[in-house]
């Protein structure tokens, strides 16, 4: 199976989601990207089990569909040495060996069966709302710094989202400082609340800073997803009652 992709486009998208990876995990698969080629589109996922980030890239050419896990650090380090050029990925469907053809020569990486990558949780019985990217960026930027690091009180290591018909309130505290930020220009069709961990919020913040778009939020009792442009972030919520 082969596909062709721009080296600079691939590096940009991989870098944008690489912060979610957990390189110190005891699970080697978490140091890999999942490449899912389907209908001339490459969807790339990275995960630390708690959060998963997904991005997509249009391919110049693809002759088949396939899933393969690619070692993240090796690929990123390699891409950083390339000038912008088309790269040809050739993947062995049986061994998942990866050969990358470039102007500089050919490189080989050992891939893993894509079916071994952690499955994305399905958000059953979920609710939805929309929020402008600038509004969400400001809310995260004004609150996430106040979160705590106390492992005995995990609810304080995240930001509380209080959804009401008259607006959304974002709250963060480490027991020494408290931030409460309210927006009345984004509203929920029903009252609800959840607590988002700080790591995925910081990842969201880094993506939203330069965007002007609408973010689609979907959530249930255990997970929340944020979808905008070519990105999706799915995070497990912090379980507990906010103080």
Report the CATH number that the domain containing residue 90 is assigned in CATH.
3.10.150.10
Q: Does residue 106 sit in the same domain as residue 201?
A: no
Q: Does residue 142 sit in the same domain as residue 210?
A: yes
Task: Specify whether the CB–CB gap between 56 and 19 falls below 8 A.
Answer: no
- Does residue 180 fall inside a structural domain? yes
Question: Domain boundary residue among 61, 81, 116?
Answer: 116
Q: Does residue 19 sit in the same domain as residue 60?
A: yes
Q: Does residue 91 sit in the same domain as residue 13?
A: yes
Cβ–Cβ contacts within 10 Å for residue 30, how many? 19
- Does residue 122 fall inside a structural domain? no
Q: CB neighbours of 200 closer than 8 A, spacing ≥ 6?
A: 20, 50, 51, 233, 235
Question: Domain boundary residue among 116, 151, 172?
Answer: 116
- Does residue 51 fall inside a structural domain? yes
CA-based max dimension of the chain: 59
Q: Does residue 58 sit in the same domain as residue 147?
A: no
pLDDT at 211: 94
Q: Does residue 45 sit in the same domain as residue 105?
A: yes
At 148 the three-state DSSP class reads: coil
**How far is the C-alpha of 29 from the C-alpha of 32, rounded, in Å?**
5
Task: Specify whether the CB–CB gap between 70 and 98 falls below 8 A.
Answer: yes
Q: Does residue 166 sit in the same domain as residue 111?
A: no
Query: Tens-of-pLDDT digits for all 243 residues of the chain?
Result: 899 999 999 999 999 999 999 877 889 999 999 999 998 899 999 999 999 999 999 998 888 889 999 999 999 999 999 999 999 999 999 999 999 999 989 999 999 999 999 999 889 888 999 999 999 999 999 999 999 998 888 999 999 999 998 899 999 999 999 999 999 988 888 899 999 999 999 999 999 999 999 999 999 999 999 999 999 999 999 999 887
Give the count of domains, the chain: 2
Q: Does residue 46 sit in the same domain as residue 150?
A: no
Q: Which domain holds residue 43?
A: 2-116
């Amino acid at each position: 199976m082969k596909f062709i992709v721009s080296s600079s486009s691939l590096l940009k998208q991989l870098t944008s989601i690489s912060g979610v990876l957990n390189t110190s995990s005891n699970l080697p698969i978490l140091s890999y990207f999942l490449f899912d080629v389907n209908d001339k589109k490459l969807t790339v996922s990275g995960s630390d089990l708690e959060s998963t980030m997904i991005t997509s890239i249009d391919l110049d050419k693809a002759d088949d569909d396939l899933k393969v896990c690619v070692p993240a650090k090796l690929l990123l380090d390699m891409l950083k040495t390339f000038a912008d050029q088309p790269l040809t990925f050739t993947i062995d469907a049986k061994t998942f060996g990866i050969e990358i053809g470039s102007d500089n020569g050919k490189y080989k990486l050992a891939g893993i069966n894509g079916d071994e990558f952690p499955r994305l949780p399905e958000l059953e019985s979920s609710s939805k709302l929309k929020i402008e990217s600038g509004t969400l960026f400001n809310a995260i930027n004004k609150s996430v710094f106040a979160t705590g690091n106390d492992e005995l009180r995990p609810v304080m290591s995240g930001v509380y989202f209080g959804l009401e018909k008259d607006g959304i309130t974002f709250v963060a505290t480490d027991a020494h400082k408290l931030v409460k930020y309210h927006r009345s220009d984004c509203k929920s069709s029903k009252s609800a609340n959840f607590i988002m961990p700080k790591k995925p919020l910081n990842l969201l913040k880094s993506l939203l800073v330069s965007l002007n778009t609408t973010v689609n939020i979907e959530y249930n009792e255990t997970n929340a997803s944020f979808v905008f442009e070519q990105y999706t972030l799915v995070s497990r919520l912090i379980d507990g009652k906010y103080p």
